[in-house]
């Protein structure tokens, strides 16, 4: 039962979807505060390499996680500075960070006398529950068969959702992303809120990247994350900027990523490249359908997304 | 209506000798003001009189340059709106500070330190409902702001303040966005609040409202207090005269003998504003060649929609516009330009001029499609430069340097450039909105000369303004616009401050008879 | 009175500042790069020398630099003309690829005997049209539905990429070379449709690219249509007031932008590649074009030298491997240049000064909200 194609596909899909969960939830937090971060791809790869390196050097997986969080946050700080303090183009800044972050990551991977590239990770995330539990039919693998990071991702989703919709600080973020002037009038420090959330988003992206290099792959290659960063940006829209939806959408795309393999096993012939197009195609359709005109209000983007805000001088 | 016991209590708010300037312009000068407990106090005045500035001082948004403010007899120094809120003063602005996509309950909670870390939606909603009911001001706490009508949104703004238990509420032109029924509901709520012991300041330019709801009226003009009376004792014509000032200078120029045929005929025009309400509501005017028709009115009564509807920038949903006999209703902007309507908008840099382009480019903005500015698809840069230089010299536009974005010119020079371009087009009608607003004496003189020159050339001029001096100096005929309709018309020689003031504040001519 | 520095919008930036900032960005990035190289144990002097040598040191090297620069000029123009109007077309990547797809399709389909002039024109034009079409998928929703073009153009990049890979690697479509049995390849276009080379691998496509940049500059500064474009880019409201149909202008600009990128694709296919080669088309040329446009401050003429600089960097990258330095150094430099350029824009728009201890300057005009 647990070895069926369906189960294997689901499990692999969850695994592949986990970086997307982190990336998407992180970008949701950033965009909810009104900042568009197109640098997610760069932050993910940078987090992946720094996480890998930290674990490689210390043998400790959790130090790797920490390193990836810090790496993502550090890179996103540059974007925050450009977008919030300087108020320059968020689009160009984000793209610049993707190019920069990717370049740095690839470089680090190849640098030094004993480069990381090609090396397997010194430690890998393994499922944490005993086999007895994981062997239960269906429920076993799906609930108990995961490694710590996957469970962490569920916690992150739950916390993010609760935070955004059930706490006052979360309300504040949402207000800042919708209408910073009104939020400022109500006494909120818009800059500070934005800085915090950009860096949270970067940190989570970094962690998502590290999951590739410490669990999924798990060695270092030039680009272990594929297009996961870009896909995360698209998934934010499909998830309507809501963390729980992000979880399901991410898993959906994780499964889609696995489908190539599944179809081959089942001897169904669907071209891999066409399946790869799916997230992007769906994102466009969603974008057009959901954010044009009046619909925008229902499912929509934070109204002030991407617009620099400057406090008026009195 | 006023509590006789108040004479023994210190006023809820008192201002003494308040001065406030911006960039050298005095907005409030030597203002003394006193607000008692349980009092609804109206602030009456025209645009630019200083009402909003005064309110902003009380609400902590601005700090006065000199003078002092007391609350309950003690001197206070409010540095920020947050301080004011903490002291119990809150203001409902003309532009609401509500977050559109959030619910009413969420907006109430925003920025309120008393709401805990956890948001209990149900608790917030219950409290919002209870507050709404107490003042007969029901709002659905689960509704999102964009779903509410403007009147309901205003209620939310007021509820926000009541939620923080403010003792002193300031309402800035609240009825500008309300229907008559909503206005009445607001007044009822205001009375309830006052009877509870709170104090309200109510800014308005509408006399009938002031008469209806306030206990006392203070009239401001040009930043100073010109009078303060108990409402019961106040006569409308006295208030109007106080609002508008001494007898205005009568025009000294000779009336134009050769007024010609109608060039612009507007019939029953209906234009919607951004909110979908009819800002222009069945309006008719006729402008003849060689005549300056002035339209007076407080801003927000449909002037923008009238001008933009005629010119084609806003959609006309009813009525017609004829230019020298041709129907141009609903035609595109390009069409109205080609057929000969020149337009000096109120927003100089936001609309009339392209702020980042240089002066020569801006001077060509209307005529660049024709020779000499362009031949076929090609732009003739020489023409831009020579024609530009001519106009700059003729209209005395100063500060121009090659390549300098026009936004760096001073306001007076911007307007001179705008006028220069508009009057040198091929046209038969000129529509101008507040053309001398904010200009220094020299620039004002130039602009006024140009408008009179237009008249002498046989152009039909429609002058829409809030500045009565400007209107009286230039117009042959005066109209008053109020809530989207023309409510009065008279030859300029018969226009008096009192008559105009009454009409502008909604008091119809019959009532004064 | 606070002692903090005052930041205020600048009136008119001095002309030399507009040059200093981009150049400064490059220098700052190089300094950062040097630090980075040093920390990771490389000799930055050697690295930079090697790069300069590879890019400019020899005739062949310089030719390669120009070869790399050619598509960058076009993707730079693509980004510049869109961004100047605040149309955020970041889909140059996809528009280039789709242009390549269409160009290759035409180039394969034409008969072998088609005269060269017609063949080349057809292929090149097809690329431009392809790019414009791909852009229209974002442009039309933007103009008629108000859909934000940032995400749509971004996503279309990846769709185009996948489409191209599908056509060559994932299926046996007409784009795939039936004679390549070992590894899937793009099918070569007809010989007559190839743009002739004139020096090593450098072909006349370079001049097409330069011509496009010059034409763009010319149209913007010297034609009536360009004047309208400048007005719209400055203020939508003023443009409407002047009678300009803004949606049409936005649409037209967006399509032209896509066409430029598509042209880059077709010049690659008809020029050095001779076929639609997925690996050689998937080089991030669209995104690099954005860097070029930003550094050139959206000026089409300035794009030419900046594209040559970026081409030099791209060209120099692979040569670094021979001295044991990762080619990714180039990306780091490019990314850093863009970060500094975008941050430097702040200095062009704003001025920083110390607060004046005497009473503030009074603005003569009463622009203030006096009540």
pLDDT, averaged across chain A: 85
Question: How many C-beta atoms lie closer than 10 Å to residue B511's C-beta?
Answer: 11
Dihedral sign, Cα of residue B343, residue B349, residue B350, residue B356: positive
Q: Which residue has the tokens 């330019």?
A: B205
Q: Indicate the CATH number of C61-323 among 2.60.120, 3.30.1490, 1.20.120, 1.10.3470.
A: 1.10.3470
Identify the top-confidence range among B405-419, C78-92, C315-329: C78-92
For residues A64-86, average pLDDT: 94
Q: Which residue has the tokens 């308005």?
A: B204
pLDDT score at B222: 81
pLDDT score at C127: 94
E strand segments, B260-384: 262-272, 278-288, 292-296, 316-323, 326-327, 341-344, 374-375, 378-379
Residue B255 lies in a domain: no
For residues A218-232, average pLDDT: 85
For residues C335-353, average pLDDT: 84
pLDDT, averaged across chain B: 84
> What does the alpha-carbon distance between residue A289 and residue C267 come to, in Å, rounded to a whole number?
35
Burial C76-96 (b: 16+ CB within 10 A, else e): bbbbbbbbbbebbbbbbbbbb
Confidence bin at B416 (pLDDT 50/70/90):
very high
Residue B251 lies in a domain: no
For residues B490-511, average pLDDT: 77
B133 and B60 both lie in a single domain: yes
For residues B372-395, average pLDDT: 89
B353 and B428 both lie in a single domain: yes
B300 and B201 both lie in a single domain: no
pLDDT cut 70: percent of chain B above it: 94
Pairing of strands C197-199, C202-203: antiparallel
Confidence bin at C369 (pLDDT 50/70/90):
very low
pLDDT, averaged across chain C: 85
Q: Which residue has the tokens 């009541």?
A: B162
Confidence bin at C1 (pLDDT 50/70/90):
very low
Instruction: Domain count for chain B, please give it.
Output: 2
CB B284 within 8 A of CB B269: yes
Residue B181 lies in a domain: yes
* Any B CB within 8 A of A293 CB: no
B303 and B358 both lie in a single domain: yes
Confidence bin at C49 (pLDDT 50/70/90):
confident
pLDDT score at C363: 34
B331 and B421 both lie in a single domain: yes
CB contact under 8 A, B337 and C11: no
Nearest CA of chain C to the CA of B46: how many Å? 10
Residue B249 lies in a domain: no
Confidence bin at B256 (pLDDT 50/70/90):
low
Nearest CA of chain B to the CA of C250: how many Å? 17
Q: Which residue has the tokens 């429920």?
A: A139
- Domain edges within chain C: 1-42+325-365, 61-323
**Residue finishing a domain among B191, B215, B244:** B244
> What does the alpha-carbon distance between residue C337 and residue B226 come to, in Å, rounded to a whole number?
62
Residue C99: which H helix or E strand, with range? helix C92-109
For residues C194-199, average pLDDT: 82
pLDDT score at C177: 80
B239 and B177 both lie in a single domain: yes
CA-CA distances (angstroms) from residue B332 to A75, C223, C244?
50, 23, 10
B112 and B235 both lie in a single domain: yes
> What does the alpha-carbon distance between residue C307 and residue A113 come to, in Å, rounded to a whole number?
34
State how far Cα C201 lies from the chain centre: 21
B223 and B337 both lie in a single domain: no
pLDDT score at B11: 80
CA nearest to C12 within chain B: B404
> What does the alpha-carbon distance between residue A114 and residue A102 come to, in Å, rounded to a whole number?
20
pLDDT per position as a tens digit, B207-217: 778 888 999 99
Question: Domain range holding B160?
Answer: 4-244
Tokens of B505: 């504040």
Q: Which residue has the tokens 């969420």?
A: B106
SS3 A229: helix
pLDDT score at B338: 92
Give the ranges where C110-148 is alpha helix by DSSP (H).
Answer: 116-140
Least confident of A192-196, A242-246, B411-415, C243-247: B411-415
Residue B14 lies in a domain: yes
For residues B299-321, average pLDDT: 91
CATH of the domain at B52: 3.40.50.300
CB contact under 8 A, C158 and A112: no
B147 and B211 both lie in a single domain: yes
Residue C268: which H helix or E strand, with range? helix C246-268
CB C307 within 8 A of CB A87: no
* Any A CB within 8 A of B252 CB: no
CB A204 within 8 A of CB A22: yes
Residue B152 lies in a domain: yes
| Closest residue to C225, CB basis, from B333, B345, B377 | B377
A38 HSE (CA, 13 A, CB side): 21
Beta-carbon contacts below 8 Å between A and C? 158
Instruction: Look at residue B114 and tell me whether its pLDDT is greater than 60.
Output: yes
Question: How many C-beta atoms lie closer than 10 Å to residue B490's C-beta?
Answer: 16
pLDDT score at C3: 52
CB contact under 8 A, B118 and A182: no
Angle between helices B180-195 and B150-163 (to 10 degrees): 10
| Closest residue to A297, CB basis, from B101, B111, B115 | B101
> What does the alpha-carbon distance between residue B392 and residue B396 come to, in Å, rounded to a whole number?
6
Give the ranges where chain A is alpha helix by DSSP (H).
Answer: 5-32, 40-58, 61-80, 90-110, 131-134, 139, 148-166, 168-178, 180-185, 190-211, 228-238, 243-266, 272-291, 295-299
Residue B254 lies in a domain: no
pLDDT score at C371: 27
Instruction: Look at residue B23 and tell me whether its pLDDT is greater than 70.
Output: no
CB B458 within 8 A of CB B289: yes
> What does the alpha-carbon distance between residue C34 and residue A222 come to, in Å, rounded to a whole number?
22
Specify the pTM.
0.82
Angle between helices A5-32 and A168-178 (to 10 degrees): 70
| Closest residue to A172, CB basis, from B110, B116, B121 | B110
pLDDT score at B252: 53
**Residue finishing a domain among B195, B214, B244:** B244
CB contact under 8 A, B404 and C12: yes
Nearest C-alpha neighbor of A22 from the set A171, A148, A170, A211:
A211
More confident residue, B312 or A124: B312
Instruction: Look at residue A298 and tell me whether its pLDDT is greater than 60.
Output: no
Residues of A in contact with C156 (CB under 8 A): 280, 284
Nearest C-alpha neighbor of B208 from the set B509, B505, B481:
B505
For residues A67-84, average pLDDT: 95
pLDDT score at C370: 30
CB contact under 8 A, A168 and B82: no
pLDDT score at B510: 57
Confidence bin at C359 (pLDDT 50/70/90):
very low
pLDDT score at B353: 94
SS3 C23: helix
pLDDT per position as a tens digit, C249-302: 999 999 999 999 999 999 999 888 888 888 888 888 998 999 899 889 899 999
pLDDT cut 90: percent of chain A above it: 42
pLDDT score at C15: 79
For residues B476-502, average pLDDT: 86
Confidence bin at C367 (pLDDT 50/70/90):
very low
CA-CA distances (angstroms) from residue B43 to A88, A207, B72?
43, 59, 20
pLDDT score at C98: 95
| Closest residue to C371, CB basis, from B48, B332, B368 | B48
> What does the alpha-carbon distance between residue A66 and residue A72 come to, in Å, rounded to a whole number?
10
CB contact under 8 A, C346 and A103: no
> What does the alpha-carbon distance between residue A77 and residue A90 come to, in Å, rounded to a whole number?
13
For residues C136-153, average pLDDT: 89
φ, ψ for residue B42, nearest 5 deg: -95, 140
More confident residue, C6 or C207: C207
- C-alpha dihedral over B502, B503, B506, B510, to 10 degrees? 90
CB C107 within 8 A of CB C270: yes
pLDDT score at B319: 92
Least confident of A71-75, A113-117, C25-29: A113-117
* Any A CB within 8 A of B491 CB: no
CB C341 within 8 A of CB C21: yes
Q: Which residue has the tokens 């959906």?
A: A252
Query: Which distant-in-sequence residues (6+ apart) come within 8 Å of B180 by Cβ?
Result: none
For residues A257-278, average pLDDT: 72
Tokens of B225: 């207090």
Nearest CA of chain C to the CA of B436: how many Å? 11
Identify the top-confidence range among A184-198, B242-256, B258-272, C252-266: C252-266
pLDDT cut 90: percent of chain C above it: 39
CB C117 within 8 A of CB C248: no
Interface of A with C in 122-161 (CB under 8 A): none
Residue B200: which H helix or E strand, with range? strand B199-204
Confidence bin at B294 (pLDDT 50/70/90):
very high
Residue B349 lies in a domain: yes
More confident residue, B257 or B359: B359
pLDDT score at C84: 92
Complex ipTM, two decimals? Answer: 0.84
CB B6 within 8 A of CB B37: yes
Nearest CA of chain B to the CA of A85: how many Å? 23
Instruction: Look at residue A307 and tell me whether its pLDDT is greater than 80.
Output: no
| Closest residue to A88, CB basis, from C284, C331, C343 | C343
Least confident of B100-114, C61-75, C97-111, C133-147: B100-114
pLDDT score at B30: 84
């Amino acid at each position: 039962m647990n070895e069926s194609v369906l189960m294997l596909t689901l499990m692999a899909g969850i695994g592949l979807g986990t970086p997307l969960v982190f990336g998407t939830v992180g970008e949701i937090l950033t965009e909810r505060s009104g900042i568009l971060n197109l640098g997610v791809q760069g932050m993910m790869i940078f987090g992946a390499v720094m996480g890998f390196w930290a674990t490689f050097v210390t043998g400790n997986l959790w130090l790797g996680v920490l390193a990836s969080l810090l790496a993502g946050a550090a890179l996103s700080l540059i974007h925050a500075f450009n977008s919030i303090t300087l108020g320059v183009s968020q689009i160009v800044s984000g793209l610049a960070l993707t190019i920069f972050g990717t370049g740095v990551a690839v470089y680090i991977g190849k640098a030094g006398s004993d480069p990381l590239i090609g090396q397997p990770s010194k430690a890998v995330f393994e499922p944490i529950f005993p086999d007895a539990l994981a062997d239960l039919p269906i429920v076993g693998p799906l609930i108990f068969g995961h490694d710590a990071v996957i469970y962490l991702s569920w916690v992150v989703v739950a916390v993010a959702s609760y935070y955004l919709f059930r706490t006052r600080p979360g309300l504040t973020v949402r207000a800042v992303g919708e209408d910073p002037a009104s939020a400022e009038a109500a006494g909120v420090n818009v800059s500070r809120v934005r800085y915090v959330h950009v860096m949270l988003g970067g940190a989570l992206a970094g962690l998502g990247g590290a999951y590739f290099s410490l669990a999924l792959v798990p060695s270092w290659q030039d680009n272990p994350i594929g297009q996961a960063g870009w896909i995360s940006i698209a998934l934010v829209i499909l998830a309507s900027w809501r963390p729980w939806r992000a979880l399901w959408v991410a898993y959906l795309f994780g499964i889609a990523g696995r489908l190539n393999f599944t179809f081959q096993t089942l001897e169904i012939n669907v071209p891999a490249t066409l399946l790869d197009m799916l997230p992007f195609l769906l994102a466009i359709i969603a974008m057009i359908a959901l954010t044009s005109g009046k619909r925008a209000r229902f499912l929509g983007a934070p109204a002030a997304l991407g617009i620099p805000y400057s406090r008026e001088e009195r | 209506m006023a509590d006789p016991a108040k004479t023994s209590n210190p006023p809820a708010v008192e201002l003494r000798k308040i001065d406030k300037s911006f960039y050298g312009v005095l907005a409030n000068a030597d203002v003394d003001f006193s607000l008692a407990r349980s009092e609804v106090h109206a602030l009456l005045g025209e645009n630019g009189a200083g009402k909003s500035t005064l309110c902003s001082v009380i609400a902590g948004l601005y700090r006065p340059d000199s003078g002092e403010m007391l609350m309950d007899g003690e001197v206070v120094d409010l540095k920020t709106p947050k301080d004011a809120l903490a002291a119990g003063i809150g203001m409902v602005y003309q532009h609401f500070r509500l977050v559109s996509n959030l619910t009413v309950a969420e907006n109430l909670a925003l920025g309120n330190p008393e709401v805990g870390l956890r948001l209990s939606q149900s608790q917030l909603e219950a409290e919002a409902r209870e507050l709404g009911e107490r003042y007969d001001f029901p709002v659905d706490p689960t509704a999102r702001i964009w779903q509410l009508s403007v009147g309901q949104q205003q209620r939310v703004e007021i509820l926000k303040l009541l939620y923080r238990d403010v003792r002193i509420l300031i309402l800035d032109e609240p009825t500008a966005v309300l229907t008559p029924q909503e206005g009445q509901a607001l007044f009822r709520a205001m009375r309830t609040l006052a009877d509870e012991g709170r104090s309200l300041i109510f800014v308005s330019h509408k006399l009938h409202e002031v008469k209806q709801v306030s206990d006392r009226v203070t009239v401001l003009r040009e930043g100073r207090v010109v009078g303060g009376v108990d409402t019961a004792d106040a006569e409308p014509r006295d208030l109007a005269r106080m609002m508008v000032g001494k007898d205005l200078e009568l025009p000294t120029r000779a009336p134009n003998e050769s007024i010609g045929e109608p060039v612009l005929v507007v019939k029953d025009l209906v234009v919607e504003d951004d909110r979908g309400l009819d800002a222009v509501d069945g309006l008719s005017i006729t402008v003849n060649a060689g005549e300056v028709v002035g339209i007076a009115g407080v801003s927000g009564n449909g002037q923008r929609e009238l001008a933009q509807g005629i010119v084609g920038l806003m959609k006309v949903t009813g009525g017609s516009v004829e230019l020298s006999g041709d129907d141009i209703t609903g035609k595109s902007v390009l069409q109205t330009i080609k057929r000969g309507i020149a337009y000096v908008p109120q927003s100089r840099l936001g609309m009339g001029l392209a702020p980042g382009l240089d002066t020569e480019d801006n001077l060509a903005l209307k005529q660049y499609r024709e020779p000499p500015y362009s031949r076929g698809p090609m732009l003739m840069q020489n023409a831009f430069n020579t024609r530009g230089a001519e106009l700059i010299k003729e209209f005395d536009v100063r500060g121009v340097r090659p390549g300098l974005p026009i936004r760096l010119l001073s306001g007076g020079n911007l307007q001179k450039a705008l006028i220069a371009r508009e009057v040198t087009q091929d046209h038969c009608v000129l529509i101008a909105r507040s053309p001398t607003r904010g200009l220094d004496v020299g620039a004002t003189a130039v602009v006024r000369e140009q408008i009179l020159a237009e008249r002498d050339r046989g152009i039909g001029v429609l002058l829409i303004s809030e500045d009565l001096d400007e209107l009286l100096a230039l117009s042959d005929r005066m109209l008053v616009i109020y809530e989207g309709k023309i409510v009065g018309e008279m030859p300029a020689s018969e226009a008096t401050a009192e008559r105009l003031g009454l009409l502008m504040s909604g008091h119809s001519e019959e009532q004064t008879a | 009175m606070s002692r903090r520095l005052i930041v205020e919008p600048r009136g008119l930036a001095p002309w030399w500042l507009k040059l200093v900032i981009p150049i400064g960005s490059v220098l700052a990035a190089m300094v950062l790069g040097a630090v980075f190289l040093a920390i990771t144990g490389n000799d930055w002097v050697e690295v930079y020398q090697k790069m300069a040598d590879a890019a400019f040191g020899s005739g062949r090297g310089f030719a390669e630099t120009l070869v790399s620069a050619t598509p960058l000029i076009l993707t730079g123009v693509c980004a510049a003309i869109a961004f100047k109007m605040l149309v955020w077309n970041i889909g140059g990547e996809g528009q280039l690829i789709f242009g390549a797809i269409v160009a290759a399709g035409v180039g394969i389909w034409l008969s072998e005997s088609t005269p060269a002039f017609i063949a080349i024109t057809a292929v090149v034009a097809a690329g431009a049209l392809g790019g414009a079409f791909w852009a229209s998928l974002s442009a039309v929703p933007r103009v008629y539905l108000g859909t934000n073009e940032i995400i749509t153009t971004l996503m279309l990049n990846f769709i185009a990429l996948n489409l191209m890979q599908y056509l060559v690697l994932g299926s046996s479509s007409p784009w795939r070379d039936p004679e390549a049995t070992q590894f899937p390849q793009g099918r070569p276009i007809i010989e007559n449709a190839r743009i002739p080379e004139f020096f090593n691998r450098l072909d006349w496509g370079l001049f097409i690219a330069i011509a496009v940049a010059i034409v763009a500059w010319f149209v913007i500064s010297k034609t009536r249509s360009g004047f309208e474009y400048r007005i719209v880019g400055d203020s939508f409201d003023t443009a409407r007031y002047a009678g300009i149909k803004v949606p049409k202008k936005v649409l037209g600009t967006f399509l032209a932008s896509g066409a430029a990128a598509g042209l880059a694709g077709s010049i690659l296919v008809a020029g050095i590649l001779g076929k639609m080669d997925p690996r050689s088309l998937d080089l991030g040329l669209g995104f690099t074009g954005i860097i070029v446009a930003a550094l050139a401050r959206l000026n089409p003429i300035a794009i030419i030298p900046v594209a040559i600089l970026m081409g030099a960097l791209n060209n120099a990258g692979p040569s670094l491997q021979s001295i044991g330095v990762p080619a990714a150094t180039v990306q780091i430099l490019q990314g850093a240049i863009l970060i500094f350029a975008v941050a430097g824009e702040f200095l062009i728009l704003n001025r920083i000064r110390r607060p004046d201890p005497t009473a503030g300057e009074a603005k003569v005009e009463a622009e203030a909200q006096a009540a």
